[in-house]
Chains A and B, each alone.
Chain A
Amino acid sequence: DQQVKQNSPSLSVQEGRISILNCDYTNSMFDYFLWYKKYPAEGPTFLISISSIKDKNEDGRFTVFLNKSAKHLSLHIVPSQPGDSAVYFCAARRNTGNQFYFGTGTSLTVIP
């Protein structure tokens, strides 16, 4: 049962434009969310996080938005750069444990 879903397997964006990656979850017990970036044959790299007590967190070009009522979060990258091309995973943690549940990833391609 996939509790964290990334329904878009891929996304292409022109350099300089905004990239929006979406993530939906089903478990209302999730209280902490992270985004990871992954290059082929490498482990994921932590990008940005957000706690359920917030609805927005910003770090440079990266902003994560959380809509708890819709059980939806999104990652905005602006402006997008070719080096941002990678697979992005969202992950969610339940408030009663250590385990993170990962989405299946969205492959972002930023076209120069």
Chain B
Amino acid sequence: GAVVSQHPSRVICKSGTSVKIECRSLDFQATTMFWYRQFPKQSLMLMATSNEGSKATYEQGVEKDKFLINHASLTLSTLTVTSAHPEDSSFYICSARMADAYEQYFGPGTRLTVT
């Protein structure tokens, strides 16, 4: 149980375009979803926290207009990287948490490459 999927697993896009990444909890309802970014050989950095039906809370230094997060249902959250630039190239990972639980269950990640 507690499976989280992400789509796509890899995406290559041109500079200036927008990319949408989906995160789904497959067998549980996720009241809270988190989006992380990981640079090579570095730890996961939390970008934002989203609760179903409300606006996402962004961490300091994360541009909310650039990284649009929508948590429209208890099983789906999306991250849209708008006007992507090469420096946005990274590994993006989502996680999901059930109500009244501490553990976060992670998706497999999405490798974004902006050319």
Contacts and interface: CB of A to CB of B under 8 A. Distances in A.
Nearest to B23: A43
Interface string A25-58: 0000000101010000111111001000000000
Shortest 8 CB-CB contacts between residues of A and residues of B: A43-B106, A102-B43, A102-B44, A104-B43, A43-B108, A44-B106, A43-B109, A43-B107
B28 interface: no
A43 B2 CA distance: 13
Interface stretch (A65-73, A77-85, A93-101): A93-101
B18 to A, nearest CB: 23
A99 B49 contact: yes
Given A41-B111, A43-B4, A104-B43, A36 B102 contact: no
B104 interface: yes
Interface residues of A, number: 22
Contact of A103 (B9, B43, B108): B43
A98 B59 CA distance: 12
B44 A89 contact: yes
A45 B93 CA distance: 12
B43 A93 contact: no
A64 B44 CA distance: 21
Nearest to B6: A43
